[in-house]
A and B are shown apart, each in its own frame.
Chain A
């Protein structure tokens, strides 16, 4: 795998690759390598950020990473390393479920089937604490954001936008299409791991019986 190293100040660098799958593979590799002085790994859509404990750690780090990654199989499957599996029960009662059906040309029943029948993977976090961008879903579920974002989306709202699905962790504004609701607590700062999901984890949505 080819990695482009980009500078990011005195205590970080960005590793850029071609796809989210490669980000996940590189993330798993870096976790495994556990390089001394690397204090934090932050995956995003095409990049993995490495934060280091002191500036001197950056010396030669980029070359080391590109060497390690050159031995990595390009076809590494997204999420195969992490393996944590989470089941999320959803009531498919979202206000935008009909709109999503219209956008996709599917019936609401088919939307629900498409959302529950594929395994999603946590690509990265962003937007808000605990907000995980889930990828790898059914390609028929690609929908645009709403024209008018909502000023208030409740926690537990299950949503779609672009190629992603997500569960809103806390009350926040939001422009994604809401298709359902879950009772799972996605974010709790009193929990040892505040986010229910972690990068690389896989998610199966399950239709809840009412």
Chain B
């Protein structure tokens, strides 16, 4: 069986798949790849089934040696990819041989690069998923230097594309589409949210993208109201008492007690997951 041996994980490398749906009622969140589109593109490129585990590499810095042969693709944040020191394309199918050393640089655009191998990384599943839920502490451990990650066997037709053109994550100010949420009326400036610009905090993680800037204020009618905990979903924009919104990503708490002003469209949650710290965000 082929495998990879990790030389360096970078700031954060995690095994992720399509997540752990169906357990929210007993307190387990979805987890899974936060840029779902980039993860799914990787699966399509190596022509294996969706749901197999890839490595979500946050802000590059990843390096590994291939043991055996592997068919791989890198999608998501457009970090520089090299094999044995030679630059290789992003969003492309790469055939790797025994002993090849792959390196993923820091992305110029976007935050998370997905390293997909045909057959997926074959680590033990927890509740049907090989995703690391960083909030709940479920699933595989964080990827570390020296880890040997086995690659699963996959029968089936071979990839019939070499490379795809795919939208790369945006730089500069990003506009995200906000659908009205369960508690929109709690905020006095419900229309004002679209006029404000926030900056992505460096305290953002897989639980949520924390925004800094203008505070959203409660409508006087809801000033001192407490919200009984209610279910949250990926893409919820929750407003804690500070008034600084948080966009929930896949490791969000299953329930929360702060009001949700709106929910991002699914496509725009993927875009939010690629925001770099310091990047500007507006809602529309």
A interface vs B, CB < 8 Å?
6-12, 14, 16, 39-47, 49, 51, 124-132, 170, 189, 194-195, 198-199
Q: Are A130 and B26 in contact (CB under 8 A)?
A: yes
Those of B246-284 within 8 Å (CB) of chain A? 253-255, 260, 263-266
Across-interface contacts of A41 in B (CB, < 8 A): 25
Interface size class of B (residues with CB under 8 A): 20 to 34
Q: Are A7 and B263 in contact (CB under 8 A)?
A: yes
> What are 7 of the A-B contact pairs (CB < 8 Å)?
A6-B183, A10-B179, A16-B182, A39-B21, A42-B25, A49-B230, A131-B27
Across-interface contacts of B230 in A (CB, < 8 A): 14, 44-47, 49
Q: Are A9 and B179 in contact (CB under 8 A)?
A: yes
B164 lies within 8 A of chain A by Cβ: no
Across-interface contacts of A42 in B (CB, < 8 A): 24-25, 231, 254-255
CA distance A124 to B257 in the complex (A): 14
Across-interface contacts of B136 in A (CB, < 8 A): 128-129
Q: Are A9 and B235 in contact (CB under 8 A)?
A: yes
Taking the nearest CB of chain B, how far is it from the CB of A42, in angstroms?
4
Q: Can you list, as one digit per residue, whether each of B229-243 has a CB less than 8 Å from chain A (1) or not (0)?
A: 111010110000000
Those of B31-51 within 8 Å (CB) of chain A? none
Q: Can you list, as one digit per residue, whether each of B18-30 has a CB less than 8 Å from chain A (1) or not (0)?
A: 0001111111100
Taking the nearest CB of chain B, how far is it from the CB of A38, in angstroms?
12
Contact of B26 among A16, A49, A198 (CB under 8 A): A198
Contact of A44 among B137, B231, B233, B266 (CB under 8 A): B231
Known contacts A8-B181, A42-B254, A189-B127: A128-B27 contact under CB 8 Å: yes
B228 lies within 8 A of chain A by Cβ: yes
Residue of A nearest to B234 (CB): A9
The 8 A-B residue pairs with the shortest CB-CB distance, nearest first, are A9-B263, A49-B231, A45-B228, A6-B182, A125-B27, A195-B26, A126-B255, A42-B231
Known: A9-B266, A49-B233. 14 other contacts (CB 8 A): A8-B182, A8-B263, A9-B181, A42-B24, A45-B228, A45-B229, A47-B228, A47-B231, A124-B25, A126-B229, A129-B136, A132-B26, A194-B127, A195-B27
Contact of B181 among A7, A39, A189 (CB under 8 A): A7
Across-interface contacts of A131 in B (CB, < 8 A): 27
B163 lies within 8 A of chain A by Cβ: no
Q: Are B25 and A127 in contact (CB under 8 A)?
A: no
Taking the nearest CB of chain A, how far is it from the CB of B55, in angstroms?
22
Across-interface contacts of A14 in B (CB, < 8 A): 182, 230-231
Q: Are A130 and B263 in contact (CB under 8 A)?
A: no
Residue of A nearest to B126 (CB): A189
CA distance A198 to B27 in the complex (A): 10
Taking the nearest CB of chain A, how far is it from the CB of B25, in angstroms?
5
Q: Are A40 and B25 in contact (CB under 8 A)?
A: yes
CA distance A189 to B236 in the complex (A): 27
Residue of B nearest to A4 (CB): B182
B71 lies within 8 A of chain A by Cβ: no
CA distance A44 to B254 in the complex (A): 10
Q: Are A129 and B260 in contact (CB under 8 A)?
A: no
Residue of A nearest to B263 (CB): A9
B138 lies within 8 A of chain A by Cβ: yes
Taking the nearest CB of chain B, how far is it from the CB of A175, in angstroms?
14
Across-interface contacts of A46 in B (CB, < 8 A): 228, 230
Q: Are B233 and A9 in contact (CB under 8 A)?
A: yes
